[in-house]
């Protein structure tokens, strides 16, 4: 059974590796999905001001192209997730918008990241059936973030040359600019 300690964080090497395609939805794959859901929910229990929105399998140290996204992003008590196996972005549309992102694998850091406002996705569902969908707004951002994980890319890679785009969450749940002088250790991990 997975827990929040199952989530790997920088500088873990696998976060920078490409994940492998899933050939068949087996009992082992279903267990990995269950472990991903449990790890996300357990992480969230220990975070007063944050919501576990999504997770990629690499974040529990499984180099497989599996992504889960919370079914209801408005209600923290709804603990259901949708699963996307071998997800791919087939088209990016609309404006590129800068907005805040965090990551369970980049502890306590947020960034203002540019993402397309709409994406078309193809994937397999939990039953191995093909699905296609169009995601907009925040959900489009979540898909782009999680699919990046399957390619060994993190949100910080989109803004690494913009130190002003990095933020930290304070004790009251408010985003504050990152103080690089105080966060020397963190700076070494991010860059």
Domains of the chain as residue ranges with CATH: 4-190 (3.90.45.10)
The pTM of this model reads 0.92
Q: What is the pLDDT of residue 47?
A: 81
Longest pairwise C-alpha distance within the chain: 50
Is 164 one of the catalytic residues?
no
Cα Rg, the chain, nearest whole Å: 16
Sign of CA dihedral 96, 54, 66, 125: negative
Give me the half-sphere count of Cα atoms (radius 13 Å) on the Cβ side of residue 84.
23
| pLDDT higher than 60, residue 188 | no
- Separation of alpha carbons 113 and 101, rounded Å: 7
- Separation of alpha carbons 105 and 95, rounded Å: 27
Of 146, 164, 171, 177, which is the active-site residue?
Answer: 146
Contact (CB, 8 A) for 84 and 49: no
Question: How many other β-carbons are positioned within 10 Å of the β-carbon of residue 135?
Answer: 19
Q: Render 49-80 in DSSP notation, one character per residue.
A: T----EEEGGGGT--B-EEEEES-TT-TT---
| pLDDT higher than 70, residue 180 | no
- Separation of alpha carbons 36 and 92, rounded Å: 27
Task: Dig out the tokens for 177 from the structure.
Answer: 């600019």
| pLDDT higher than 90, residue 4 | no
Q: How confident is the model at residue 1 (pLDDT cuts 50, 70, 90)?
A: low
Q: What is the mean pLDDT of residues 22-41?
A: 97
Q: What is the pLDDT of residue 187?
A: 55
Report phi then psi at 126, rounded to 5.
-60, -20
What are the residue ranges of helices labelled H in the chain? 27-45, 137-150, 184-190
Give me the half-sphere count of Cα atoms (radius 13 Å) on the Cβ side of residue 53.
17
């Amino acid at each position: 059974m997975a827990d929040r300690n199952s989530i790997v964080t920088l500088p873990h090497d696998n976060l920078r590796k490409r994940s492998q395609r899933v050939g068949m939805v087996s009992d082992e794959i279903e267990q990995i999905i269950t472990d991903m859901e449990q790890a996300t929910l357990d992480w969230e229990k220990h975070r007063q001001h944050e919501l576990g929105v999504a997770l990629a399998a690499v974040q529990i140290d499984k180099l497989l192209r599996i992504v889960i996204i919370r079914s209801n992003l408005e209600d923290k008590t709804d603990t259901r997730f949708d699963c996307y196996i071998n997800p791919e972005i087939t088209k990016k549309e609309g404006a590129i918008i800068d907005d805040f992102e965090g990551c369970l694998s980049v502890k306590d850091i947020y960034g203002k990241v540019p993402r397309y406002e709409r994406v078309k996705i193809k994937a397999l569902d939990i039953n191995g059936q093909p699905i296609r969908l169009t995601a907009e707004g925040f959900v489009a951002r979540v898909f782009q973030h999680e699919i990046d994980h399957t390619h060994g890319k993190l949100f910080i890679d989109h803004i690494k040359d913009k130190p002003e785009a990095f933020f930290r969450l304070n004790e009251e749940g408010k985003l504050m600019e990152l103080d690089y002088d105080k966060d020397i250790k963190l700076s070494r991990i991010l860059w």
